[in-house]
Amino acid sequence: MPSAVTLLIPEAAMSHSVLSLIASHSLHHSFGCLRFRILLLPNPRILFPVSFLVMNGRKIVVAINGKNIVVSGSVLRLPVELLMMIFIFVCFSQKCQASRFPTARERLSLVCRKWVTIVRSMPRMWQTICVDAGVHPSAVDAFVRYSAALPISVTVAHWEYGHSQASPRRVDRLRYLLSRLLFGSHRWVTVKLDTNWLPTARLMMQMLEDAALGRLESLSVSCTAFLAPGVLPVGQVYPAVTFAGDYPRLRKLRIIGFPFTLVSNPSFDRLSHLSVRCIPPTAWPSYVQFVALLAGLPLLQTLALKGVGCDPLPPGLVPAVVGTVTHLEVEFGVGPHADARGLANLLRGLEFPKLTALSLGFHALPSAHGFADSPILSRCGKVKLCGRICCEYWLGRLYTSMPDVVELDISGGAPGFLLGLSRRLTSNNLLPCPMLKVLTVLGGQWAYVRKVVESRFRSGMPLDKIRYVANVEDTDSSVERFFLDDFFYIRTHVGKLEWVP
């Protein structure tokens, strides 16, 4: 079963019947409780001249009379009846609605009104609407009018390839779209700028500084303009976004790819999730600035530090205590700069006494030096290891430093890690996690899991639950073999088995 379904709808192909299909009981029953996303695009290039349906891996492409409607998502093992139902509804909508609603604006208004009904009928689903920066202002007005009061997340997507500047019309439309969203009444906004053109990035930064962000509950901003080496001349100062004022409703802040500064002691009274990723090394905040930022977050629970750090700490410095963080996400060697020393310096100057969950990733083995003896590793009951290098390093050096790990997640890669773990348990009874209760692995590692289960009885490990994360490379035959050979064995000896789509 898929975990999300995305509808990519061109402006000129707007029709409410496709969304009516989502709201229908039969489709909802087939998918279960899933996330639905809508991607509103300008008129794309015509890909197919006739009407037909294509299943290519994880996508369904439907082209009707020269207008494309793409239903994209994990469609592995979906019933054929469901695919044909999607195809029939799309064909029906194009034939019946084209004459009644000739303009894109009228069709968009109808889609937005129908979307209100869909969201209200499925309130438990997390909804996301992604709007391309090139959408016509009239379509933006209709979209904002009908979506402002809905519990949905709005994503602004903008792409510029190479080092060339986007067309002036597209930049103007981007400015208009940002102004309607950032100065409107939406509560969850994401801005994704894939561009190497600095004026476009500065436009986004200026609008973030000028916008009234006090009503936002979630803000995610990413820009690739400063990630590619050599974009800025040597010695030129990186432009930065200045966050000033009060943010009384902001719960989640995610910043990727550009520096930021804080002035006038901005208020983040309700911020619980802070994610900072891929800040250029020359624009890293100082240790004092970062500690001051964390000190002003009384409700911070999740802190993600990836590709960000500070200069070496002065000798004799007493680490700052961050007493509210319970979940820490750390990745060394992230981004094109891949300098992990700054992050290691920052972690040496911070203490997390209430930390219970750690997500750890090493993208280069030298990045792990200096972190093996960190007290952070000995205070976590839940650990997620990301990537092959991280898993191998943990297996080789850090397994004695985590005696209290209760939940271990190694679904992020490293299929050989589980084999090494099973060999250690089988050969000399070394227990990397003597208190392990829940193990999360990637689909396709079932034979190794069986060895771990067999050694559980000899080692006394209290393992009572295994979670499988579905592998996109899994085939129907491999899934059937798993259920025939290992499912009942593991279910009998472990007690709990959970399949994560």
471 pLDDT tier (thresholds 50, 70, 90): low
Measured between alpha carbons, how far is 105 from 138 in angstroms, rounded to an integer? 7
User: Which residue matches tokens 């007690």?
Assistant: 495
Task: Supply the pLDDT for residue 160.
Answer: 57
Residue 478 pLDDT > 90: no
C-beta of residue 41 within 8 angstroms of C-beta of residue 135: yes
Measured between alpha carbons, how far is 225 from 424 in angstroms, rounded to an integer? 46
Residue 303 pLDDT > 90: yes
Residue 452 pLDDT > 60: yes
Measured between alpha carbons, how far is 204 from 225 in angstroms, rounded to an integer? 11
Percent of the chain with pLDDT over 70: 38
Which range has highest mean pLDDT (92-96, 105-109, 164-168, 459-463)?
459-463
Within 148-235, where are the H helices?
Answer: 168-182, 198-210
User: Which residue matches tokens 């060339």?
Assistant: 164
162 sits in the region (left: phi over 0; alpha: psi -120 to 50; else beta) called left
**Bigger pLDDT: 411 or 66?**
411
pLDDT tens track for 233-250: 666 666 677 777 677 788
Q: What is the mean pLDDT of residues 363-374?
A: 58
| HSE of 13, CA atoms in CB hemisphere, 13 A | 27
Task: Supply the pLDDT for residue 406.
Answer: 82
Segment among 144-148, 358-362, 415-419, 427-431 with least mean pLDDT = 427-431
Whole-model pTM: value is 0.66
pLDDT tens track for 382-430: 888 776 667 666 655 545 556 677 888 777 655 555 666 656 555 554 5
pLDDT tens track for 182-227: 777 777 777 777 666 667 777 777 777 776 667 778 888 877 666 6
- DSSP letter for 333, please: S
Task: Give backbone dihedrals phi and psi of 218, rounded to 5 degrees, phi first.
Answer: -145, 130
Task: Supply the pLDDT for residue 87.
Answer: 38
